[in-house]
């Protein structure tokens, strides 16, 4: 069930924030290592594609078109990853289940207010507690170590875009690698790369393995996320097979709840969708 909250003033919560509370960041060593590994693998793909495949290419049109497309994909993927990682996923303030807060909440007679025993917060409908973030997260889908953050109501768009752009970039990298192998074999490994043939083979094979792994993983995650959004049901709710105690949105409204009103900005990691819900108001306790 959902409740209406009527806050009278805002209280800033610095937990899981850095730089004086300006940036959301989970200080989890495992998640930080996974995030850094992601950046390193993306940097490796950029290095091999540019230094081994694109720059040595003797065909200007092929070189410039693929350079622009690949680097745009990398830029959007990294931007989406950073937004997913450093955006508040919809954390309910810790310890806001005080008597004063509860007295200032509007709720119908006979309804129950749930309190999380782990973070002592008022627990809205469809919120779940994350043991890594140590917070209750609105519409929590799952905690992803690769972005060192939860995927929740306020950053799901960025995570979907991250999966989408990594998948597209990985498929593009696979195409470039296969085409480079064909060209090198055709010219008997003469002037097909600035590196020696053995080094070129090793670099390309590792990139093929990386791109294939990333493509499969992100396509599966993208399909899972889109299915959850389409059905207005989070990953945790599907896993636990929770009975829907909320009024499910239509499929289009469910998509708009994540991405905002339909526009080209759906594909931009720099556009914050205007998310409005009854649950969101509990982010600012009295």
Q: Which of 144, 164, 177, 192 is catalytic?
A: 144
pLDDT band at 5 (very low <50, low <70, confident <90, very high): very low
Look at residue 70 and tell me if it is in a domain: yes
Tokens of 150: 């939860």
Please indicate whether residue 144 is annotated as part of the active site.
yes
The total number of structural domains in the chain stands at 1
Say if strands 127-130 and 91-92 run parallel, antiparallel, or are unpaired. unpaired
- The answer to whether residue 7 scores a pLDDT higher than 50 is no
More reliable by pLDDT, 239 or 267: 267
Output the pLDDT for position 124: 84
Domain assignment of residue 31, given as a range: 26-90+142-283
Look at residue 127 and tell me if it is in a domain: no
Among 247, 274, 248, 277, smallest CA distance to 259 is for 274
Tokens of 221: 């995650």
181-208 mean pLDDT: 87
Output the pLDDT for position 244: 66
Range with lowest mean pLDDT among 58-62, 112-116, 192-196, 270-274: 112-116
C-alpha–C-alpha distance, residues 61 and 81, integer Å: 30
Output the pLDDT for position 110: 57
Look at residue 118 and tell me if it is in a domain: no
Give tens-digit pLDDT for 37-91. Answer: 999 999 999 999 999 999 988 889 999 999 999 999 999 999 999 999 999 999 9
Phi/psi class of residue 228: alpha, beta or left (left: φ > 0; alpha: ψ in -120 to 50)? alpha
Tokens of 237: 């709710």
Tokens of 33: 């290592």
Look at residue 98 and tell me if it is in a domain: no
Give tens-digit pLDDT for 148-159. Answer: 999 999 999 999
Phi, psi of 252 (to 5 degrees): -70, -40
Look at residue 9 and tell me if it is in a domain: no
Burial class of residue 181 in the structure, from the number of CB atoms within 10 Å of its CB (0-12 exposed, 13-18 middle, 19+ buried):
middle
Look at residue 115 and tell me if it is in a domain: no
Look at residue 121 and tell me if it is in a domain: no
Look at residue 211 and tell me if it is in a domain: yes
């Amino acid at each position: 069930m959902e409740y209406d909250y009527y806050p009278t003033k805002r209280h800033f919560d610095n937990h899981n924030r850095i730089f004086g509370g300006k940036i959301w960041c989970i200080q989890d060593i495992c998640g930080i290592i996974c995030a850094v590994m992601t950046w390193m693998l993306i940097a490796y793909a950029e290095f091999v594609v540019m230094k081994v495949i694109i720059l040595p290419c003797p065909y200007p049109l092929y070189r410039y078109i693929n350079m622009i497309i690949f680097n745009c994909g990398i830029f959007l993927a990294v931007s989406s990853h950073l937004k997913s990682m450093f955006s508040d996923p919809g954390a309910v303030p810790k310890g806001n289940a005080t008597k004063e807060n509860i007295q200032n909440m509007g709720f119908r007679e006979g309804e129950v207010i749930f309190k999380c025993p782990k973070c002592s917060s008022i627990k809205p409908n469809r919120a779940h507690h994350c043991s890594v973030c140590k917070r209750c997260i609105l519409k929590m889908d799952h905690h992803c170590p690769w972005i060192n953050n939860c995927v929740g109501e306020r950053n799901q768009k960025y995570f979907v875009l991250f999966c989408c752009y990594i998948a597209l970039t990985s498929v593009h990298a696979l195409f470039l690698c296969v085409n480079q192998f064909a060209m090198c074999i055709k010219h008997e490994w003469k002037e097909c790369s600035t590196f020696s043939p053995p080094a070129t083979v090793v670099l390309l094979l590792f990139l093929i393995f990386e791109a294939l792994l990333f493509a499969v993983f992100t396509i599966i995650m993208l399909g899972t996320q889109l299915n959850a959004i389409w059905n207005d049901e989070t990953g945790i709710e599907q896993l636990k097979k929770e009975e829907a105690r909320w009024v499910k949105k239509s499929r289009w409204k469910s998509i708009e709840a994540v991405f905002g009103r339909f526009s080209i900005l759906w594909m931009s990691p720099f556009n914050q969708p205007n998310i409005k819900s009854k649950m969101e108001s509990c982010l600012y306790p009295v």
